[in-house]
Structure 1
Amino acid sequence: MIMDACGNVERKKEIQEMPLFDKFSKLLFELGNYNEDEQKVKIEEMHKLIAKMNKKELDCAFSKETFNKINKMIEEDKLSFENTFLFLRQAGHFKELNNFKFYSFDESQLNKRIRKMIVDEEKKKEEVNEKFLVDLCECYLLHKDCYISEKLQNICIPRHLKIALDKEESEKAQKEKETALIALSNIDKHQEINKKLYQNGAIEIIRHHQEHHNLTRLAYQSIWQFYTNRQHKERELEEIIVNEVHFFREASREMEELAKCVDWRKTEKVLEKTKEVQIILKWIQMIKRLTWNARTWKDEFSELICCNVCLSRAARENESEIFEECSSLLLDITRMKNVDVDCLLKKGVIDLFLEEFLQPTLNKGVAYQSLDFFPELFGKLKKKVNNERSNEERETTKLEIYEKMEEDGFEDIIISLGEILSFLGYNNSVYFSTVLE
């Protein structure tokens, strides 16, 4: 009896000391040995392990062999579809929140099985089990990272939009809407989709949320991601995205609200795992994609600039990825032809890039961006305009920027840093002598 107890303690200790991937593999390998209720407990343990894994561990955990193992357990009646959906839904949810890709699913037998089952179930027409079909579509879209056939688009997309359009506001309904929209957001931006399949539904979901706030923050970000991804193929959507449903205003407001939920004093390791930080990153990356395509300067950009300056300062110390992404976005905005230099000055963008040079430790990525920022800024200042008053205002702004940099010694700092980085292979140079020409 004592020996058995000692043996159990040793086994538990051995499992605790295993690498995360080995624990995950052990649970997966043994999953078929348990009954359905026990499997649910084990699947929950697997989800907890997934949440702790880094990118390399996740790539190993979600290999083609993993998906084939799940397919084999289904084939041998060792794993029910209910538990398969439980495992895949949560794993896919985590994958999308953290911007991971599991390309191995596309090559797996499980992918082929689910794809065939979707088509076969839909063929039943009046006898179709809608919940089962939606579950199949959900797991397929959450994990599918390559081309989706037109037939499967026609089956999956309308059903997911219908779920998100449901006016039910219970906690369960909220979760279902979130998962449905996350699944849609995973459809690649290069994927061709008939506009009639999503246009009215997506706009209705966005507008209904703007009026009633019926979606979770991740669900709202996801419907925007799905819809703006389509702009890659449908250029005429820009007018709707910018002027009718006010993307930049909504993005700014969402990021400001999310930022209030983050304790920016925590260490980077803790911060990078928080849901709010991950959603902020998804918004920034989506905005960066949209600003490259935005052809006109809008008032809402002022709100966006203010939001990103504040976010950059909050994230500077303990969230380097958000700090770098915000700085990169502000650099992209500076490069836009219709962005006014005076706005960059008043909204604090210039101060933000100058502040980086006074930090005890430079963020390498932002240092490079800063040295790209100033030639862009000076290039804008050198451009002549037809309006005489505008030229006078431009000269005043130019002097204000130059005096600020000269007064605080930034000119020498930036030139010195530029020379160091040039020695290290960085090609750009900042010539302050040309700014007042």
Structure 2
Amino acid sequence: MNQIIDEICGEDFISICTFDFFEELFEMIEEKKIHMGKAVLLLKRIGSCRTIYGIDVNVFFHPLLNDTFQEMIVEEKKKEEKNEKLLVDLCECCILLSEGRISNEIFEFCLPFILKVALRKEKSDETQKEVEMALLTLSEFHLFAGIGIEMFFDEITWIIKHHQKHGNLTRLAYQSAWKFLIRRLLFDEKLEYVVVNSLQFVKEVRRVLDELMGYVDWKRMNEKEVKKSEIYVKELIVIERWIQTLGIYFDCWEIFYEDCSILVCYIDQVFQAAKDNHREICYQCVRSFEKAAGCCCVEFEDLIKYGAVDAILEVIQRQTMDDRITYESFRFFMHISTALKKKWKSEIGETKRKDTKKKLLEKFEEEGYEDSFTKFYETFHFLNRKPIFRELSFDISDYFVKI
């Protein structure tokens, strides 16, 4: 069954792992037709696939199964000699399948056991898989607020530094460790200096993306073909998760570091490679551009310099955008327009603002942005019926930059 799960993805995955499937599995557990240990391992594998492919958690959430596993964790917690392996399996299963629908108390109890697995140094294939699963689970840790910040900081930074020196983690495991840490910036901004300087975040992003992109034949493989290929999980999914993590970073970024703006350039490189054949990666790139435009620490000139503006203009002019990409593109220009309408405090800043506005206006005119955008704007009243668009402004001036 695990092999079957590994071989399916996307729509096929959803069509097999239905609510009825989980209901039947729950009944089999209740009637003792399947060993609980095997059921937990099976569901943990399903949960990891759900997380890797980014599938909506509501497809999988089954309250009775979730309650059963949480009760097992509580019972195990009461024992003097605890079964650490079972606790790790149960907690990983709950988090990966139900995305946070477990109590903070239970998660805080399980966290040290998951970290212990993530810290293993053995080089066997089995250990690598266990470490990867633990870090993948931790990458979903954002739903548990500030729990355990003091418990994980030394451990997770050690994991990242150790890999940078010895290369002991899989690509997915390493990305998950970073995603886990970046999400902590929401709760402890003091970590930002460590992330950028001590752990060399910008340098690592460039190195990893260059390496990953070198493995992919972007022109030959379209999205349907790669879903049938082993490379889909091993490279493209990890690239997608890195771009998503950069979007999270821009969302949290409070302190200005000059080198960090070049992250926009790395996102553009992925966008240019993926734009014709890989819509999900393209969406994550556009979303990260939007986060960068809304980040007070990214210079607007860098959005022009490193390709974000050109990329979004190209997206706007395409006729095949989906709703999510359309929405993020509009928000990108809303952020820029809003910021450049406000006068900046210093005389130097005000001069710079006017210069940036001029550059943007010239680019908009050169690319025919206004005509392309106006065509979309004419359909706003129709789009507004869809929940995703209801946050957008109906004032067309909010999407343009004027001198």
TM range (shorter): 0.7 to 0.9
> Which string of whole-angstrom CA distances, capped at 9 and with x for unpartnered residues, describes residues 283-332 of structure 1?
33333233222123323432310011111111211112221221122122
User: Match for residue 69 of structure 1?
Assistant: 27
For 2:223, which of 268, 286, 295 is the aligned residue?
268
Q: Aligned AA for 1:328?
A: R
Q: Within 5 A, what are the aligned runs for 1:239-254?
A: 239-254=193-208
Match of 2:274 in 1: 315
Q: Are the counterparts in 2 of residues 264 and 318 from structure 1 also a CA contact under 8 Å? A: yes
Q: Is 1:429 the equivalent of 2:396?
A: yes
Q: Which moved more, 1:306-315 or 1:343-352?
A: 343-352
Gaps of 5+ in 2: 385-393
Match 2:313 to one of 351, 354, 361: 354
Number of residue-to-residue matches in the alignment:
388
* 2:170 equivalent to 1:203: no
Task: Encode CA deviations 1:115-153: one digit per residue, 9 max, x unaligned.
Answer: 34444445544x544444444444344334344345533
Identity over aligned pairs, percent:
30
Quickly say closer, same or farther: Cα 1:213–1:428, change in 2 above 3 A. Answer: farther
Provide the secondary structure at the position in 2 that maps to 1:203. Answer: helix
- 1:212-251 matches, within 5 Å, as 212-251=166-205
Match of 1:178 in 2: 132
User: In the alignment, is the contact (CA less than 8 A) between 2:117 and 2:134 conserved in 1?
Assistant: yes
The residue type paired with residue 276 of structure 2 is E
- Preserved CA contact (<8 Å) 1:381 1:398: yes
- 2:264 aligned partner: 305
Cα deviation 1:209-252 (Å, max 9, x = unaligned): 23322211211222233334444444544444445434455445
SS in structure 2 at match of 1:97: helix
* Greater relative contact order (CA < 8 Å, ≥ 6 in sequence): 2
Within 2, Cα distance between the matches of 1:52 and 1:386? 50
Tell me the amino acid that sits aligned with residue 285 of structure 2: C
Question: Which residue among 61, 72, 79 is the counterpart of 2:34?
Answer: 79
Displacement of 1:205 in angstroms is: 1.5
Question: Which of residues 337, 354, 365 is equivalent to 2:296?
Answer: 337
State the match for 1:165 in structure 2.
119
In structure 2, relative to structure 1, the CA distance for the partners of 1:354 and 1:195 (3 Å cut) is closer
Backbone CA RMSD of aligned residues:
3.5
2:45 to 85, 90, 111: 90
Further displaced range: 423-432 or 176-185: 423-432
Contact 1:102–1:143 under 8 Å retained in 2: no
Instruction: String of CA shifts for 1:401-434, please: whole Å, max 9, x gaps.
Output: 433443x351553454355345755724258996
Displacement of 1:378 in angstroms is 4.5
| Residues 259-300 of structure 1 deviation map (CA, whole Å, 9 limit, x = unaligned) | 333332322223456213333333333332332221233234
Relative distance call for 1:207 and 1:60 in structure 2 (3 A) is same
Which residue of structure 2 lines up, in the alignment, with residue 20 of structure 1? Answer: none
Give the superposition deviation at 1:350.
2.2
Contact 2:270 2:285 in 1 (8 A): yes
Alignment partner, residue 9 of structure 2: 51
Tell me how far apart the structure 2 counterparts of residues 411 and 133 of structure 1 sit (CA, whole Å).
Answer: 55
1:286 aligned partner: 245
Paired with 1:113 and 1:432, the residues of 2 have a C-alpha distance of: 50
Structure 2 residue corresponding to 1:107, chosen from 63, 66, 69: 63
> Structure 1's 133 and 361: CA in aligned 2 closer, same or farther, altered over 3 A?
closer
Which has the higher mean CA deviation after the structures are superposed, 393-402 or 309-318? 393-402
Instruction: Provide the C-alpha distance between the structure 1 equivalents of 2:350 and 2:61, rounded to a whole number of angstroms.
Output: 58
Displacement after TM superposition at 1:254 (Å): 3.2
Select which of 286, 299, 312 maps to 1:327.
286
CA distance in 1, matches of 2:19, 2:62: 15
Code of the aligned partner of 1:267: N
One-letter identity of the residue aligned with 1:83: K
1:145 paired to 2:99: yes
